Amino acid sequence: MSPTIAVLGCGNRGADVYARHLAAQGARITHLVDMRPARLAEVAARHGLNADACFADADAFFALGRVVDALVIATPDDAHMGPCLQALALGYDVLLEKPICLQESDLEQLLAAEAASAGRVTVCHVLRATAFFGAVRAVLDSGRLGRLVGIVHAENVAYWHYAHSYVRGNWRCSPSAAPFVLAKSGHDLDLLRWFAGAPPVRVSSEGGLHHFRPEDAPAEASARCVTCAVLACPYDACTIYGGRDPAAWPVTVLTAGGVSLADALTYGPYGRCVYGGGNNVADHQAVTVTFANGVIAQLTVSAFTHNNRRTLKLLGTHGELRGQMERGELELHDFRTGEVDRWVVDAAGTHGGGDVGLVAGWLAYLRREAAPPTPLAESLDSHRMAFAAERARLSATIERLG
């Protein structure tokens, strides 16, 4: 079976990741939706689609009725819910990019819509599909750690990545984008929920925008990097993008639709000074979550790291597991025997292979060879934690869930 798929939102995740992996794994991309004509034409050419299979808005596509097997929704953050509800009303299965929504009240609405539909929603929590975190889960299931007590997890965003996505990019302001802890760490909160094996009951958080503000700008800084006289600025866009593969992310975000890198840096948002004041999301945040079974998890997400890596420790009554995702490194200390096991898991590919793995799991479900990768009801807990963490950060409270 070769499922037919419509892709709503032809940005990096929709077109360059999900559509590409779906086509590589045997699905057929048959319809596209995107408001940018040049980008729509570019992606249509990849999949051999004519103009009558391309739409500038979701309403025009949905007016066709049920014409494909399933949908990918990878529109901007504030345009996920509407198309997803329309898709469920037609009975479509949906692969939904995170965040699901920007309003916490929408979570229950989506859950009710799925319950009333023949379709099922799979949220793009790709890290569950990695070999690395699968190996972490296997250690938990083996019992070698004893009873899990704590999780210490860090998402090291990398200074240049934060500047790209959260100062210059689409996730720089909330609203209209999701809060930093949801936009960047929705995956990580989902992992905490998976490892804890219970719903969250309390959330606290501290954090803020510490650096990327007008008052932090050097005196000689200009509005755009191409005209700036500041030497050795770590956030210089010409250096960040000029030294990277022009055919890969993040450069392809700037050049999508045939734009030259020079023009993107001269005229587009990715060439702006990071101290220009156009962003408001946190750049460093710490979150503590208590789960119903007593497990306590601590998540730190920060712009101020030299590389883009995830690290974690799982603390059990009889052992400790340490991990570093991007290197695939795991280290297990067994308190009972004194043994230390070290091994390396394949972590190649974007998101440590999770993008390919998620697509494979979703296609197996569409072919009715497996259940959906993660039930929607469980995926929603990551968003509940994120919304609670943002409330706690802004109001200095402890938020209770459930």
pLDDT digits (tens, 9 = 90+) for 43-58: 999 999 999 999 999 9
| 117 lies in the same domain as 238 | no
- The reply to whether 45 falls in a domain is yes
Q: Hey, which bits of 13-84 come out as E strands?
A: 28-33, 54-55, 70-73
Express each pLDDT in 178-200 by its tens digit.
899 999 999 999 999 999 999 99
Contact 201, 288 (CB under 8 A): no
CA distances from 357 to 4, 125, 148, 194, 366 (A): 19, 11, 26, 17, 14
- The reply to whether 365 falls in a domain is no
Kindly tell me if the per-residue pLDDT of 257 is higher than 90: no
Look at residues 271, 298, 318 and tell me which one is the last residue of a structural domain.
Answer: 271
pLDDT at 175: 86
pLDDT at 143: 97
Half-sphere exposure for 379 (CA within 13 Å, toward CB): 25
pLDDT at 349: 84
pLDDT at 14: 96
pLDDT at 348: 87
**Domain ranges, residue 98:** 4-123
DSSP letter for each residue of 96-108: EPSP--SSTHHHH
Q: What does the buried/exposed string (b/e) look like for 65-88 if buried means 16 or more CB atoms within 10 Å of the residue's CB? A: eeebbbbbbbbebebbbbbbbbbb
Residue 229: Cβ-neighbour burial (10 angstroms; 0-12, 13-18, 19+): exposed
Nearest to 287 by CA among 393, 208, 132: 393
| 192 lies in the same domain as 81 | no
- The reply to whether 299 falls in a domain is yes
Predicted model pTM: 0.92
How many other CB atoms are there within 10 angstroms of residue 305's CB atom?
19
Average pLDDT, the chain: 96
pLDDT at 230: 95
Kindly tell me if the per-residue pLDDT of 88 is higher than 90: yes
pLDDT at 242: 95
Express each pLDDT in 23-41 by its tens digit.
999 999 999 999 999 999 9
- The reply to whether 369 falls in a domain is no
Q: Angle at the Cα of 283 (from 279 to 288), degrees rounded to 5?
A: 130
CA distances from 276 to 84, 216, 218, 225 (A): 35, 10, 11, 11
| 119 lies in the same domain as 131 | no
Contact 163, 235 (CB under 8 A): yes
Kindly tell me if the per-residue pLDDT of 402 is higher than 80: no
| 173 lies in the same domain as 65 | no
The structure tokens listed for 368 are: 């009715």
User: How many domains, in total, are found in the chain?
Assistant: 3
The structure tokens listed for 238 are: 């010409």
Rounded percentage of the chain residues whose pLDDT exceeds 70: 100
| 257 lies in the same domain as 332 | no
Express each pLDDT in 203-253 by its tens digit.
999 999 999 999 999 999 999 999 999 999 999 999 999 989 999 999 999
Mean pLDDT of 315-326: 97
Mean pLDDT of 259-286: 97
Mean pLDDT of 251-256: 94
Residue 391's CATH number? 3.30.360.10
| 195 lies in the same domain as 289 | yes
pLDDT at 259: 94
| 192 lies in the same domain as 312 | yes
